[in-house]
Structure 1
Amino acid sequence: MKWLIPFLALLVAQHAHADAASDAYSAGASLAGSSKGQGTAAAKNTDPSSVIPGYTSSPSQSGYYGGVQGGDGGISDKGQTELSQNEAGQAITDSSTKNPAVTIDPNADFIQNGKNAEANSSTIVDGTNTQCTTKVVSKSVFENYSCDRDVAQVQTCARTGSVIVTGSSHTETRTLSLTLTDASRIGSEDRLQVSFTFPETATLLSGSTQLVYTPAPSYSTGFNYAVDMLNNSVGLQYGSGAVSLNVTGLTVNAGQTYTAVITPQGQSGSNHSKPTTTLVGYLRDGTTVFHLDVTYQVIVSDKQAATTWTESCGFDKSSATATAGSVCTDPGGTRSMTSDGQTYSQTQSCWQYSDAYIVPVSSAGNCSTLMANKNCTVAARNCTQAEGSTCLHEQDTYQCQTTYSSQGLLCGGDYICQSGSCDETNGAGDSGFDTAVAKLAGLASAGDDVKADQVNVKAFTGQALYCRKAMAGFSNCCVDTGWGNSAGLANCNSDEMAIGKAKAKKVTVLVGEACNRAVLGVCVQKKQAYCVFGGKLARIIQEQGRRDQLHVSFGSGDSPNCRGITVPELQAINFDLINFQDFYSDLVANQKIPDSATMVKQAKDRIAAQVNAQTGGK
């Protein structure tokens, strides 16, 4: 019974605890019920614009929502429009449509290695033993190289105008009757001179002359005269009629004045005492008319003047694209030419134009080695010169795979090199030897520049050179390939040829363009400015250090700045960020390793010297 008392006490305690919990719950529920509507009421009576910055009840985006059953408000069309007009969208479209597809050579090492791994996969899964087996270990390294090349050129055609005469001429036979009354006495002589003018240039076929009296004079005998005209001398007498002239084939010119000399012959009597004076009076008052009648031929022209245009191009226009670049290179005016004695003229605002075209080229530039390497693929393309939306010159980045191989024994999971060329395949990674040598070579090259001027200390100084771009009838001396293959390049000067060779050596940096020749205020020939450096190291450090890291410009096409790098600038360049890959090929090509026979002889000589030193030569 003793156990009953504690049990009852426990029940009482539990009942009291339950009553207390029930009271607490009722109080909490009552409080929650009284305050449950306060938050909703506060939200309903609050102006959102007073507590939310920039709040608006009708945002512009609401125009794209037409409700559950409505459309999208044209947001898809507007998105497509923005994609086609936005610069970034155009760049994406151009990259997918214009960039050539990346070509991967099926014979590349990384492809062949994958095939070999697939073919020999059974050796991996069929279990390995602990005995030594001969193994060839390969390690592939991917490195980036840069080069540049022309992808298009601006070439020009000369369009020249000249005056031509079109049509033909024909011959017509005509007659002419001249009445000659313009008579004058020749000084004090008893002779007269009569002048006459032909209206057009002609070839005479026949001719005649006569004196006609109207009315007849009171005397009946008339006058006798000798007349010299048109290389003829004939006699005229009153009432004798027309006298023929021997003028067949004689040429007379339009507007030229001819004369006839009339001399009285054998006159006597009172009425004839002054025949010359009498004849002059008769001619002037019309009593006497002096006639000249001719039949002749004239050349009648049906010709007309016109302007013809001829074009001279040094390239195939079928693959070219015309640009808006057409300038006048020969000012306008009036020009003439003569045909069959007649002058024809034409007036033009310009007599020669230089028309620009964009011509695609298949130049490899200094990328030929990388393009021919089956283990190199294009990783990036950057247009460095453009004409409108067309790229003319680009810088290409190639990613090249180099595979290092070594032969050895695999014994119990440990690889033992046998070939002696395992440095690149032992898993230790790149030792950085090439980079270290490149940096040291760069410092040494900088020291060579300092020798010349120890006051204004600058390193890697370049030289500014120009080349002329194509114009009407002139070669493009800024091409990156073709030197020696094109006869037109013979017109290029020594600086331009030096630029061509420097491009092939990868020691140039393109600065910009400027006008080289202007006609009537319009540029008809441009020039390109380059900074040419003494070697690849100088170009690499100037380009990647000065330009890309320090953002120090090379100037402009009008004023290139190829100065050296100052000491503070040199100290500010982070050489760890510079890619020296272009220099490594020169480094490997120029290193001189003695042959094995020389090395063996050197080892023997050193051993013999040490033995002699220890034994005293005994």
Structure 2
Amino acid sequence: MKKQLIPGVLLLASAVSVQASEQYDEAAKYAGSVKDQGMTVMKGTDPAATIPGYTANPDESGYYGGTTATSNTDLENAGNSEMHNGEAGKTIMDVINNRPSDPISTDAPFISGSLDVEDQAETLTRGTDTQCKDVDVNRTQITNYTCERTPAVELACTRTATAGGGHEEDTTEIRQVVIASQAIAFSSSDAGYTGVWTAPVTGRVVSATATYSWNKHLAFGNASWFMRVTTPFGLISMDEDTGSPALSSGAQLTEGAGMLFAIRTKNSQPAADAVWKNSNMRYSFTITLRVEVPAKKWVPDVVWTETCPFDKSDQVMTGSVCTDPGGDRVFTFNGQQYTLHSDCWQYTDTYVSQSADNGTCDQYMNNTACTVASTTCLESLNGHCLREQAIFSCEEKVSGSAQLCGGDLVCADGSCDHLENNSVNDFQSAVSGLAALAAAGKDIAALNGVNVSAFTGEGHSCRKAMAGFSNCCKDSGWGNDAGLASCNTEEKALAEAKKRKLSIYVGSYCAHKVLGVCLEKKEGYCQFDSKLAKIVQDQGRRGQLGIGFGSGDSPDCRGLTVDELKRLKFDQMNFADFYDDLENGTTLPADQTLIDRVKQQIADKMAGGVQ
């Protein structure tokens, strides 16, 4: 029997082998026929006709440095330029420089829980079967809290001095005046042989020199031919044929006034016209004066230019520092050098200088379970946020008991239902909404239908900046700053209201201005009697209805009308800030306690025979 099976097996194997060989040959032939078609199609295709917007040389190709390049300077320079000059880059740099740090801690529940799962992965997956076992069910409850804080900001203007403008100043200059004898009309008179010279300028003679000449050899020693010229500046004795006698300084000239010159002979006899004017004798003298006359000179001024990146008219200058020390400096105008003096060549004037104040965000910033969900700038100046509203998401682990049966979570007693349905805070949320409605109803009932409104607040203000004054608008640190003792009662009460989250920031304004200079800066707030009122006004009036609170100098803290109340969606409001008041002010049953109480009531009814 075995011998008969062997040929049959061999025959079957041979048939299978032949069939496989034929299939292989067919596949090989097909593969060979299409072997190079892919590259042929690629080489023969025009990308520009196939791909929309295709270009062979895009602008970005300039950044490609080749396969061996380790860096590209053009790409790096373009990136740096865009970072510092582009709108997106400026925004990123502004956030890096000015936003407060909001670190995420590894102790945060969503991180620590993930790390625990990673560490216990093997334990969690081991022994998976259809058996039921008791397990603890943990869930993270996320609650959002809204708060306000003050980022650290310092804004300043610079005043820089330089040479410019110019004005004339009184000074003196030396002018040369030449008096030639030929220009004086001498004539004989009772006073002798005299002449009058008219002064061309007003000033004081600082030096006077003279020269004279005549044909002395024609005098033959005759004293009547030797001349003596009396001038306002001294005596010229013509004893030689030429001479340069020194004259006196100090004489005062007055422009247009005449000055007397007299000529006598050596023997003190008046000279005659015939003698002095004798052409053969050639008498002449010349007096050269150096006169100090009044003058004006142009000098440049020390001109101040101010660079201010914001409108300072509504800001109070809190300090000024010389950042470029004073002294003498030389400036050149029209090729002439001038020395100017300034006690300081540049001042830096600080108008906004606020340190970081965590305000009502402090408890969340210091809680590792809280992270920043979003921020909104409430007031800014020149791109710098001066006051910020932040929303923190805070996580809390909530535990329950259940059974795990074959991968399904079973809650036999309903204790984990709330975890699955995301309804841990059902009771708190419901009570908060009802409390808000009750408070609104109480306000409306008290008004008896006249100007009906609810959740009315009051406007309050505090002094933020004033020369030599402390910041009475601080959100925190009141117990540590001795300078805050000068803050008034209203400001201290407002600080307490802000601490208790009963106020809404409206804005800042200049409260006192003289000659265009702001001397006092204030902040305006709306203050409410309860957190409920503040929440409804903030999230309802401003958030849902889009109705603002006026301006800092005139806060609009009016209540909500009945029509506005009807339009509010209380189920969309976050009453998390009110939960603390619920828990601290009233003993409120937890959801499970309510369930247990209902169960007990049902059991009691059933035991009493009530169907």
Q: Normalising by structure 2, what TM-score?
A: 0.50
Q: What's the CA shift for 1:578?
A: 2.3
Q: What's the CA shift for 1:446?
A: 0.8
- Residue 528 of structure 1 aligns to a residue whose secondary structure is strand
Distance 1:68 1:75, change over 3 A: closer
Distance 1:68 1:405, change over 3 A: closer
Instruction: Provide the rounded CA distance (Å) in 1 between the counterparts of 2:462 and 2:405.
Output: 64
Report the residue type matching 1:462 in the other structure. Answer: G
1:452 and 2:446 aligned = yes
Q: Which of the numbers 335, 354, 363 marks the counterpart of 2:357? A: 363
Distance 1:102 1:470, change over 3 A: closer
Instruction: Provide the rounded CA distance (Å) in 1 between the counterparts of 2:137 and 2:606.
Output: 41
> What residue in structure 2 maps to residue 557 of structure 1?
552
Distance 1:580 1:613, change over 3 A: closer
> What residue in structure 2 maps to residue 131 of structure 1?
131
Q: What's the CA shift for 1:546?
A: 1.2
Q: What's the CA shift for 1:69?
A: 12
Mapping for residues 569-580 of structure 1, pairs under 5 Å: 569-580=564-575
Checking the alignment, whether the CA contact within 8 Å between 1:406 and 1:421 is kept in structure 2 is: yes
> What residue in structure 1 maps to residue 107 of structure 2?
107
Report the residue type matching 1:515 in the other structure. Answer: C
> Which runs of 5 or more structure 1 residues have no equivalent in the other structure?
1-60, 157-320, 330-347
Mapping for residues 426-437 of structure 1, pairs under 5 Å: 426-427=420-421, 429=423, 432-437=426-431
Q: Which of the numbers 526, 531, 538 marks the counterpart of 2:526? A: 531
Instruction: Provide the rounded CA distance (Å) in 2 between the counterparts of 1:369 and 1:90.
Output: 31
> What residue in structure 2 maps to residue 489 of structure 1?
484
> What residue in structure 2 maps to residue 586 of structure 1?
581
Percent pairwise identity? 42
Distance 1:153 1:499, change over 3 A: farther
Distance 1:78 1:589, change over 3 A: same
Checking the alignment, whether the CA contact within 8 Å between 1:380 and 1:398 is kept in structure 2 is: yes
> What residue in structure 1 maps to residue 304 of structure 2?
none
> What residue in structure 2 maps to residue 373 of structure 1?
367
Checking the alignment, whether the CA contact within 8 Å between 2:98 and 2:152 is kept in structure 1 is: no
Q: What's the CA shift for 1:464?
A: 0.3
Checking the alignment, whether the CA contact within 8 Å between 1:322 and 1:357 is kept in structure 2 is: no
Instruction: Provide the rounded CA distance (Å) in 1 between the counterparts of 2:470 and 2:387.
Output: 18
Checking the alignment, whether the CA contact within 8 Å between 1:136 and 1:407 is kept in structure 2 is: yes
> What residue in structure 1 maps to residue 435 of structure 2?
441
Q: Which of the numbers 509, 513, 518 marks the counterpart of 2:508? A: 513
Q: What's the CA shift for 1:126?
A: 3.6
Distance 1:88 1:121, change over 3 A: closer
> What residue in structure 2 maps to residue 402 of structure 1?
396
Q: What's the CA shift for 1:574?
A: 2.6
> What residue in structure 1 maps to residue 141 of structure 2?
141
- Residue 469 of structure 1 aligns to a residue whose secondary structure is strand
Checking the alignment, whether the CA contact within 8 Å between 1:152 and 1:358 is kept in structure 2 is: no
Instruction: Provide the rounded CA distance (Å) in 2 between the counterparts of 1:504 and 1:66.
Output: 62
Checking the alignment, whether the CA contact within 8 Å between 1:469 and 1:526 is kept in structure 2 is: yes
Q: What's the CA shift for 1:124?
A: 4.4
Checking the alignment, whether the CA contact within 8 Å between 1:327 and 1:354 is kept in structure 2 is: no
Q: What's the CA shift for 1:529?
A: 0.9
Instruction: Provide the rounded CA distance (Å) in 1 between the counterparts of 2:444 and 2:540.
Output: 18
Distance 1:592 1:418, change over 3 A: farther
RMSD: 4.6
Report the residue type matching 1:562 in the other structure. Answer: C
- Residue 363 of structure 2 aligns to a residue whose secondary structure is helix
Mapping for residues 52-451 of structure 1, pairs under 5 Å: 84=84, 87=87, 89-96=89-96, 98-100=98-100, 102-152=102-152, 356-413=350-407, 415=409, 421-427=415-421, 429=423, 432-451=426-445
Checking the alignment, whether the CA contact within 8 Å between 2:478 and 2:484 is kept in structure 1 is: yes
Checking the alignment, whether the CA contact within 8 Å between 1:137 and 1:405 is kept in structure 2 is: yes
Q: What's the CA shift for 1:386?
A: 3.1
Distance 1:449 1:569, change over 3 A: same
Report the residue type matching 1:583 in the other structure. Answer: F
Q: What's the CA shift for 1:530?
A: 0.5
Report the residue type matching 1:117 in the other structure. Answer: V
- Residue 404 of structure 1 aligns to a residue whose secondary structure is strand
Report the residue type matching 2:391 in the other structure. Answer: T
Q: Which of the numbers 463, 470, 475 marks the counterpart of 1:475? A: 470
Report the residue type matching 1:539 in the other structure. Answer: K
Distance 1:534 1:515, change over 3 A: same
Q: Deviations over 1:204-230 (max 9, x none)?
A: xxxxxxxxxxxxxxxxxxxxxxxxxxx
Instruction: Provide the rounded CA distance (Å) in 2 between the counterparts of 1:153 and 1:517.
Output: 23
Checking the alignment, whether the CA contact within 8 Å between 1:407 and 1:419 is kept in structure 2 is: no
Report the residue type matching 2:385 in the other structure. Answer: C
- Residue 459 of structure 1 aligns to a residue whose secondary structure is coil
> What residue in structure 1 maps to residue 161 of structure 2?
none
Checking the alignment, whether the CA contact within 8 Å between 1:513 and 1:558 is kept in structure 2 is: yes
Instruction: Provide the rounded CA distance (Å) in 2 between the counterparts of 1:377 and 1:148.
Output: 15
Distance 1:97 1:422, change over 3 A: same
Q: What's the CA shift for 1:593?
A: 4.6
Distance 1:373 1:452, change over 3 A: same
Q: What's the CA shift for 1:367?
A: 1.5
Checking the alignment, whether the CA contact within 8 Å between 1:406 and 1:417 is kept in structure 2 is: no
Checking the alignment, whether the CA contact within 8 Å between 1:148 and 1:366 is kept in structure 2 is: yes
Q: What's the CA shift for 1:414?
A: 5.2
Report the residue type matching 2:577 in the other structure. Answer: D
Distance 1:125 1:518, change over 3 A: closer
Instruction: Provide the rounded CA distance (Å) in 1 between the counterparts of 2:56 and 2:607.
Output: 100
Instruction: Provide the rounded CA distance (Å) in 2 between the counterparts of 1:132 and 1:94.
Output: 57
* Number of residue-to-residue matches in the alignment: 360
Mapping for residues 590-601 of structure 1, pairs under 5 Å: 590-593=585-588
> Which runs of 5 or more structure 2 residues have no equivalent in the other structure?
1-52, 64-73, 157-308, 320-341
- Residue 138 of structure 2 aligns to a residue whose secondary structure is strand
Q: What's the CA shift for 1:355?
A: 5.3
Instruction: Provide the rounded CA distance (Å) in 1 between the counterparts of 2:87 and 2:581.
Output: 41
Distance 1:388 1:611, change over 3 A: closer
Report the residue type matching 1:551 in the other structure. Answer: G
Q: Deviations over 1:25-44 (max 9, x none)?
A: xxxxxxxxxxxxxxxxxxxx
Q: What's the CA shift for 1:439?
A: 1.6
Checking the alignment, whether the CA contact within 8 Å between 2:456 and 2:558 is kept in structure 1 is: yes
Checking the alignment, whether the CA contact within 8 Å between 1:384 and 1:395 is kept in structure 2 is: yes
Q: What's the CA shift for 1:436?
A: 2.4
Checking the alignment, whether the CA contact within 8 Å between 1:354 and 1:524 is kept in structure 2 is: no
